[in-house]
Structure 1
Amino acid sequence: MTIQLCVLLWARPGAAEALTAYEDKVLALLPEHDGRLIQRAHTADGAAPDAPAEVQLITFGSQSGYDGFLADPRRTAMSAERDAVIARTDLFPVTLT
């Protein structure tokens, strides 16, 4: 069963660049878990102040791949960094067409 996700990320004040750097590291782990980044977008200048800093579309080939990504010790070891730069995350399943 393929897992398709939309991820919305809000940066802590002044941490947009640090959020991007953190996500660069985390997203690099996807291929090891049968995951793939389909699209990544950053909020444009002039966007609504409550807009997310980053939007991602991600797929995993299986639930076990997604579970493995979530449990990856390299990812979990970065939880303090994540908490320092990300204020909010909304994640929901989507159907990519």
Structure 2
Amino acid sequence: MLTLVALVEYASGAEAAGQRYEDAVLAFLGRHGGQLERRLRGTDGQTEVHVIRFDARAGYESFLVDPERAALRAALGETAPTTRVIEVHEV
């Protein structure tokens, strides 16, 4: 089991496009053995926090190279969200 926290930041002026992108790619998690446990949006509307679990690290790695995800990201170009991913565990 792999648990990740993703801090997603939307480009200024491209928040709606970024949110649509996240809606789309988060729907791909299941095909890679992943599950979105929590999705929280900052009050500024420019930041989200996702808690995601994968059955195995291989699922996360396959999610990262998913061709549909890559195509959606490429379509956004420089307005694509930036994401910092942190591997976490329960304490």
TM-score (norm 2): 0.87
Gaps of 5+ in 1: none
Q: How far did 1:9 drift?
A: 1.0
1:37 aligns with 2:32: no
What are the superposed Cα offsets for residues 29-76 of structure 1, whole Å, 9 maximum, x if unpaired? 00000000000011115x9xxxx6111000100011111111111111
The structure 1 segments of at least 4 consecutive aligned residues displaced by more than 2 Å after TM superposition are: none
CA RMSD of aligned residues (A): 1.9
* Counterpart in the other structure of 1:60: 54
Q: Partner of 2:79 in structure 1?
A: 84
Are 2:9 and 1:14 aligned?
Answer: no
Q: Which structure would you say has the larger Rg?
A: 1
Provide the identity percentage: 36
TM (normalized to structure 1)?
A: 0.82
Aligned residues: 90
